[in-house]
Chains A and B, each alone.
Chain A
Amino acid sequence: MGLDMIRKASRNAALAAAALTASAAAHAAYDVDILPPGSPIAQQIYDLHWAIMWVCVVIFVIVFGAMFYSIFKHRKSVGAKAAHFHENTTVEVIWTVIPFVILIGMAYPATKTVLEMKDTANPDLTIKVTAYQWAWEYDYLQDGVKFNSLLATPRAQIEEWEKKGEAKNPDYLLEVDNPMVVPTGKKVRLLVTSNDVIHGWYVPQLGINQYGIPGFVKDTWFKADKPGTYRGQCSQICGKEHGYMPIVVVAKAPEEYAAWVKEQKAKAPQAAAPAQVAAGSPSTGAVATTAAAPAEDPNRKWTTDELKALGEKVYAANCVACHQATGKGMPPAFPALDGSKVVTGAKGAQVALVLNGKQGTAMASFARLSDSELAAVITYTRTAWGNKAGEVTPAEIKAARKG
């Protein structure tokens, strides 16, 4: 009996070990280095990192060499007798001055890179990046394109509390619905801000990690050398879904980029006229972050079923993390929508809550969504599960925005 159990346990352990090795072999991601750089700044960072690493390695070998030599030679068990020397000003001056000189040698190239990173003047293109809990909004100030970028990995691949999740996508958690698209070889200036809490726009291969701070705009820049896809994530803890707001930047040749812009504009016929941006003057003062609605066709007529269908999608992308697919939420921090007084009550109150968010809670403003998306998702919550309240139209959202 006892032996049997042990045998069974060891067989299970062996199977588990085999499974681990197999999975390790499958993607063998034992990377030990900074990812291949995709911009000139990232290249400098890469080189700086290796320069300082080599300095460390040399010091490491010398210092630890001395220490371990001493540990092996100067031990009592091999008969070492303790010397009694101490205090030697010459030695102490030497080991103070040498590190100092090495540091100056390191500081010089680092300073050059810092100054270059800070030089956001004369960009070819400016994109305003606004962070939300938990999505990114990209606003192409010259080209008049504006959209949201959300995690595209289905929740069924993520949540495994009750049962094993679906097979994970190759870019699990690093994939979005709408990537930021930029032209290669052009200086792209980013104006990074946030609508709610502090986030971090972090794409290591482009050498960028910039906090988005609510109420302030900070600028940074990059230039993608060659076409490719660069992935990153939010770098500053921003609440529950911090691990689920990836960033994807797709760099395309300038002509392809132009075609992409055209296509985006075709999708949104009533696009706002491009804003005028004064190039080269980093604006870091306080600004109001009232999110205007993304452009869309205001004349389209929606049926209730169309609204519900779109609403379900919007809900899955924006709301499900807190309020859950079942609408039961995770009380008390994330209240249930199923049977909620707000959701089943007067339209106006719910619209206002979704548009403005609720101070002091994790309920953010969703004004960044379009009128029809908001109408759809509100309609969906008012009719899904056990809820039997009426639909809300895009026109009502538009009116509420103005009011």
Chain B
Amino acid sequence: MSAATHAQDHGHHDDHAHHPTGLKRWLFTTNHKDIGTLYLWFSLTMFFMGGVMALLLRAELFQPGLQLINPEFFNSLTTVHGLVMVFGAIMPAWVGFANWLIPMQIGAADMAFPRMNNWSFWLVVPAAILLVASFFVPGGAAASGWTLYPPLIIQQGISIDMTILAVHILGASSIMGSINIITTILNLRAPGMTLMKMPLFVWTWLITAYLLIAVMPVLAGAVTMLLTDRHFGTSFFNAAGGGDPTMFMHIFWFFGHPEVYIMILPAFGVVSAIIPAFARKPLFGYASMVYATASIAILSFIVWGHHMFTVGMPAAGNLFFMYATMLIAVPTGVKIFNWIATMWQGSMTFETPMLFSIGFICLFTIGGFSGLVLAITPVDITLHNTYYVVAHFHYVLVSGALFTLFAGAYFWIPKFTGKMYNESLGKLHFWLSVIGFNIAFFPQHFLGLAGMPRRIPDYALQFAEWNMWSTIGAFIFGFSQLLFLYNMIECIRSNRKAADNPWEGADTLEWTHLPSPAPYHSFETAPVVK
């Protein structure tokens, strides 16, 4: 960090001090950092909403019998918990990081389409309001599971139309966001920043953005067909009119499986930034990481059928999807091996971002193993729609996406705010999260093996013990997230100045070329990358 850059940045800062303040600043902002901040706060809000829903579910499941909520409301909670966490918490959080980091990491001044960027964010808000408000309309919120399978979903009331509209809006927002990200990465890189020099977070987001553009329209098509089946007399999914409910599953999962990678690929990018920084050693195989990410993305388009092994596809279909699914283990393994090889003979320290990253590797690997178990078609058939699957996807999505979001937040908050978070509190947050998470979700493997179906409000007596533990763990996990909220707010309001590069091993542009906090307008003159 040179004094010259400092002075230059400050000069520019003053020139641009005329941006609106107060509410207007946030409503009309076209600044990538402001929009990133909006996305991050929005997703944190949705995360807590989805979390409250999850705790309500777990409270009802604490013991057999119905004590707190009725089955219909239970189904609504499972459905909206899923939708809110996927579309409201995880995806917007990654877009928030993308907004903050991509321009800084490639040496660009801002995103390519700043006004569209503003619009992408402000579309997300009404969509979220529609989703949450659907709890309060007659008939209650969508109660068909987040997969929205017909014909069940056709039976419900106006909340389904609200959900469909919300999905459409979110899809439009995601597509605009993706176009923005792709254009920014392909066109606004600083001189010398070749594609194969980009930080992996940028690479993973580039690939994620292509996935989004490929599959969001597919989802939009699927829900539009639902809408016309409901209101305009079509029979896309109605056998009596010549349609087929199975077709919805195919279309949904053609979206749904890449969607999983949309949530996890940016996580790979974050971990690939944090592990080298705290091991003080370059990433072992940069090129193979890029290729592995691309392979996972391509494979994600040909594995959707593994969500449908119990539909009754022909043997050839079941076998194809089994083989394709097993193949995913290869590039995923390459990634895990790469991170471990990066740690090997490093000089490691274990600040909160590193802890969350290592936690990610451990738990994501367990989720990968259970994924491998589920890839074996006959085994999947006995575990399909049981708690084993619930455990599996929470291991990959909570410890995969969420833990890396935390890792990223702790890692970059000094750059975002210029302040340092409380390290001991961060570590406490990590340990409580890991312990609570495992108590909540590890026993669910056993429940699934013993045959407990998912999405049931009440269960047979032999499932009581593990369910009790699962609920206890969920509450530990849920409440420890308040520590994160506190830590972030306390950090922003504190006066613990963070250094321009508080991490010894961090070497991307935002650490080496920008002060902390990063100025409102950074890299108006592009840096030159050697």
Please list the residues of chain A having a beta carbon within 8 angstroms of any beta carbon in chain B: 20, 23-24, 27-35, 41-42, 44-45, 48-49, 52-53, 55-56, 59-60, 63-64, 66-67, 70-71, 74-77, 80-88, 91-92, 95-96, 99-100, 103, 106-107, 110-111, 113-115, 117-118, 157-161, 165, 168, 170-174, 192, 196-198, 200, 202, 204-205, 207-211, 213-216, 218-220, 231-244, 284, 286, 288, 330, 332-333, 360-362
Contacts and interface: CB of A to CB of B under 8 A. Distances in A.
B282 interface: yes
Given A42-B382, A118-B314, A207-B382, A234 B453 contact: yes
A220 B315 CA distance: 12
A369 B75 CA distance: 27
Given A49-B382, A56-B372, 10 more contacts: A35-B449, A63-B365, A99-B333, A161-B68, A200-B385, A207-B382, A209-B385, A237-B78, A239-B143, A240-B72
Contacts of B500: none
A279 to B, nearest CB: 19
Nearest to B72: A240
11 contacts: A64-B365, A70-B344, A75-B350, A80-B346, A114-B378, A216-B239, A233-B451, A235-B310, A235-B384, A243-B453, A362-B155
A213 B451 contact: no
B456 to A, nearest CB: 3
B401 interface: no
A76 B348 contact: yes
A201 to B, nearest CB: 9
Given A60-B365, A83-B281, A242-B456, A117 B327 contact: no
Nearest to B445: A32
A215 B315 contact: no
B312 A197 contact: no
Given A56-B372, A242-B456, A218 B245 contact: no
B66 interface: yes
A332 to B, nearest CB: 4
Interface string B457-494: 11111111110100000000000000000000000000
Contact of B463 (A29, A41, A204): A29
A173 B453 contact: no
Contacts, number: 323
B461 A74 contact: no
A213 B246 contact: yes
Contacts of B282: 84, 86
Contact of B468 (A20, A208, A219): A20
Contacts of B336: 63
A316 B143 CA distance: 24
B329 interface: yes
A77 B373 CA distance: 39
A200 B310 contact: yes
Contacts of A238: 152
A304 to B, nearest CB: 34
B319 interface: yes
A232 B56 CA distance: 26
Given A86-B286, A198-B245, A233-B453, A207 B348 contact: no
B430 to A, nearest CB: 14
Interface of B: 64-68, 70-72, 75, 78, 138-140, 143-145, 149, 151-152, 154-157, 230, 238-240, 242, 244-246, 279-288, 310-312, 314-315, 318-319, 322-323, 326-327, 329-330, 333-334, 336-337, 340-350, 358, 361-362, 365, 369, 372-373, 376-379, 381-382, 384-386, 446, 449-451, 453-466, 468
A333 B72 contact: yes
B334 A96 contact: yes
B65 A29 contact: no
A158 B74 CA distance: 15
Interface centre among B145, B319, B346, B455 (most CB of A within 10 A): B346
The 6 closest A-B CB pairs, nearest first, are A215-B239, A218-B312, A243-B456, A204-B451, A29-B462, A82-B347
A67 B312 CA distance: 41
B379 A198 contact: no
Contacts of B329: 99, 103
Nearest to B349: A76
Contacts of A117: 378, 381
A240 B71 CA distance: 5
Contact of B347 (A49, A80, A244): A80
A198 B379 CA distance: 21
B71 A242 contact: yes
Contacts of B70: 161, 330
Nearest to A173: B460
Nearest to A103: B326
B461 A172 contact: yes
Nearest to B280: A82
A70 B461 contact: no
Contacts of B151: 196-198, 214
Nearest to B332: A99
A161 B337 CA distance: 51
Given A82-B346, A237-B75, A333-B139, A114 B377 contact: yes
Contacts of A100: 330
Given A84-B281, A115-B315, A211-B311, A161 B140 contact: no
A172 B71 contact: no
Contacts of B455: 237, 242-243
A122 B294 CA distance: 46
A56 B373 contact: yes
Contacts of A218: 311-312
A118 B313 CA distance: 9
Given A76-B348, A233-B453, A118 B315 contact: yes
Nearest to B276: A86
Contacts of B365: 60, 63-64
B65 A168 contact: yes
